[in-house]
Structure 1
Amino acid sequence: MQEEEIKKLRFIEVKNFLLFHSKVLKNQKSRVVIKDEESANWKVSKNLQYELQKLIDFLNENDVIKDKFQDEIIQYQEIKNIVDDEKNREDIKIAQEVFDKIENIREQIKIKQYQI
Structure 2
Amino acid sequence: MDDVLNEAAPALVMEQRLPAPPGRVWRALCDPALRERWLPAADLADPQPCLCEEGRVLGFHLRDAQPPHLHSLVCFQLRADDSGGTVLTIVHRLTDLRAPLPLAANDDHRTMMRAG
| TM-score class, shorter | under 0.3
Compute the TM-score of the two structures, normalised by the length of structure 2. Answer: 0.25
Quick check: which one's helix share is greater?
1
TM-score, structure 1 as length reference = 0.25
Higher strand share: 2
Task: Say which one has the larger Rg.
Answer: 2
